[in-house]
Amino acid sequence: MKPSLIPARERLIVALDVPDVEAARAMIARLGDSVEFYKIGYQLGYAGGLPLIRELASSGKKVFADFKLHDIGNTVAKGVESVAKLGATFLTVHAYPQTMKAAVEARGASLQILAVTVLTSYDNDDLHAAGFRMSVTDLVEARAMQAQTLGVDGLVCSAEEVAKLRAVTGAQMRLVTPGIRPAGSATGDQKRIMTPAKAIAAGADYLVVGRPVMEASDPKHAAEQIVAEIEASTS
Ligand code: C5P
């Protein structure tokens, strides 16, 4: 589906960054039909949250499984098959060629693979310390091109990287951006932030939002406002 055809409500992905399933269920009930797409990561996934993926999927919601897989190809493939069976829509892997290839081959018909190029907490010094002799910018671009060649469905990137990655990968690549802050909300530990409207205008397909919704006094209202902002910047 072309990004412009994805309904605004589906372009908001709320990060269920909570410690247990009970807290997740309470938040899902509060958000009701304001949210269509949820992200489940290490914290909730490893705290009994995996069955919640199936549960959300069977109730018509979409789930982004943010598990950032990276292992030998065979192990990645088996993990991807298991996540696909849970009914997730997106699954992240680290953007190493073997890992991306194995994940794409094992994903089946309904799961889409997103690659994380370089973690946004890494700068050039961190890359050098990890043994890479490339800058963050060059490695992000090289890995985006590899992802494109290997048939990866999307990339997780900061809103600032969207325009450049779109030019490298073309219109079909799903660009999914965290670090989103509606005007006036607290930045927390995010350093490179953008408002929903600006990120959409820059070409992001999906926005991942955690604290601005999860910690709002009225989470449903906060989610609805973000959806309205996405809608306004696409119409
Ligand atoms: O609370 P906040 O809106 O900052 O949450 C953003 C979500 O996106 C978190 O679940 C975080 O782990 C995730 N994320 C991120 N930056 C990345 C990749 C993922 O903030 N580069």
Question: Ligand 1 pocket, 196 CB below 6 A?
Answer: no
Question: Ligand 1 pocket, 44 CB below 6 A?
Answer: no
Catalytic residues: 68
pLDDT (tens digit per residue) in 83-112: 999 999 999 999 999 999 999 999 999 999
Locate the ligand 1 atom nearest the alpha carbon of residue 158 and give its number: 21
Where residue 203 falls among pLDDT bands split at 50, 70, 90?
Answer: very high
Write down the mean pLDDT value for the chain. 95
Per-domain boundaries in the chain: 3-234
Determine which helix (DSSP H) or strand (DSSP E) holds 51, and give its type and residue range. Answer: helix 50-58
pLDDT (tens digit per residue) in 112-133: 999 999 998 889 999 999 999 9
If you measure from the C-alpha of residue 208 to the centroid of ligand 1, how many angstroms do you get, rounded to a whole number? 7
Question: Ligand 1 pocket, 68 CB below 6 A?
Answer: no
CATH homologous superfamily of 3-234: Aldolase class I (3.20.20.70)
Strand 112-116, strand 90-94: pairing: parallel
Residue with the smallest CA separation from ligand 1 atom 2 is: 210
If you measure from the C-alpha of residue 178 to the centroid of ligand 1, how many angstroms do you get, rounded to a whole number? 5
Tell me what pLDDT residue 184 has: 80
Tell me what pLDDT residue 4 has: 59
Best CA proximity match to 173, nearest among 200, 198, 145? 145
Count other C-beta atoms under 10 Å from residue 40's C-beta.
24
Tell me what pLDDT residue 23 has: 98
Position 40 pLDDT exceeds 90: yes
Tell me what pLDDT residue 185 has: 84
